[in-house]
């Protein structure tokens, strides 16, 4: 089973990078362009708008796999900050403070920062590992 599945690892890594970037990108679109309309992002404070800009631009870079390691590292840090500023003060448990997604994005991006974008990325086409 290990040998059968391991041959798909490079493709799975590229797909994981793309989907992670797409999910972060959607948060940026919702915060900046108000689409789709989400009540908590209807009139966001400047810090949320800044986070939305980061998620929009870096999520797009992550989707195409450009500067993957640096982009993912910055996004990992942003998600850690988002968790400790926005979620942790509301309670210790992520299920209660709604911080599960922030934690998952933080560690998904940290993994991508160490692993890179995979074979189906702009970085791979350029012949670079960052």
- Please list, residue by residue across 54-85, b when 16 or more beta carbons sit within 10 angstroms of its beta carbon and e when fewer do: bbbebbbbbbbbbbbbebbbbbbebbbebbee
Looking at residue 128, its pLDDT comes to 63
Instruction: Find all residues with CB under 8 Å of 119, minimum gap 6, and list them.
Output: 10, 11, 13, 14
Q: Structurally, how many domains does the chain consist of?
A: 1
Looking at residue 64, its pLDDT comes to 98
- Alpha-carbon distance of 126 to 6, in angstroms, equals 25
Looking at residue 129, its pLDDT comes to 56
Q: What is the pTM of this model?
A: 0.92
Question: Residue ranges of the chain with pLDDT lower than 70?
Answer: 128-130
**CB-CB contact of 71 with 40 (8 Å):** no
Looking at residue 37, its pLDDT comes to 87
Domain containing residue 56: 2-126
């Amino acid at each position: 089973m290990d040998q059968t599945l391991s041959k798909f690892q490079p493709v799975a890594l590229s797909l994981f990078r793309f989907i992670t970037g797409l999910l972060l990108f959607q948060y940026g679109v919702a915060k900046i362009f108000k689409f789709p309309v989400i009540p908590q992002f209807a009139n966001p404070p400047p810090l949320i708008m800044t986070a939305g800009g980061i998620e929009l631009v870096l999520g797009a870079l992550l989707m195409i796999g450009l500067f993957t390691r640096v982009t993912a590292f910055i996004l990992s840090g942003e998600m850690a900050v988002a968790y400790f500023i926005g979620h942790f003060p509301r309670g210790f448990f992520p299920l209660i403070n709604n911080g599960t997604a922030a934690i998952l994005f933080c560690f998904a991006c940290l993994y991508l920062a160490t692993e890179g974008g995979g074979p189906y990325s702009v970085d791979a086409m350029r012949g670079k590992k960052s």
